[in-house]
Amino acid sequence: GAVVSQHPSWVICKSGTSVKIECRSLDFQATTMFWYRQFPKQSLMLMATSNEGSKATYEQGVEKDKFLINHASLTLSTLTVTSAHPEDSSFYICSARDRRSGNTIYFGEGSWLTVV
């Protein structure tokens, strides 16, 4: 079946540094990918919709200069958390839509970010 790979799975960084998380669709092309943030025992909150070849669409309250999204190809979207702070520590997860299978959404494994 379709697979979405997310990397890294775990990352620890110092405050003030930037961290890049990659989301790849391994066996299908994804013109649209989604980035979510999930706090422990809470639901997934949509951060932005990543569109291949164009700017991402950010949800209200999400700082686009803080969370940079690049969807450079049909199989790769990246989320860069810039000037990370401890409150950015969270589980970040991406998903991609496979149009071949009726727009089924597949999720990546998620990335745990800890900012110290």
Distances (CA, A) of 116 to 1, 83, 88, 92: 37, 12, 10, 17
- Shortest distance, position 49 Cβ to other proteins, whole Å: 5
- Shortest distance, position 115 Cβ to other proteins, whole Å: 20
If binding is defined by CB under 8 A, does position 102 make contact with other proteins?
yes
As a 3-state breakdown, the chain gives helix, strand, coil percent values, each rounded to 5, of 5, 55, 40
Question: How far is Cα 40 from Cα 17, in angstroms, rounded to an integer?
Answer: 23
- Shortest distance, position 79 Cβ to other proteins, whole Å: 15
Binding site for other proteins (CB under 8 A): 32, 34, 36, 41-46, 49, 57, 59-60, 93, 95, 97, 102-110
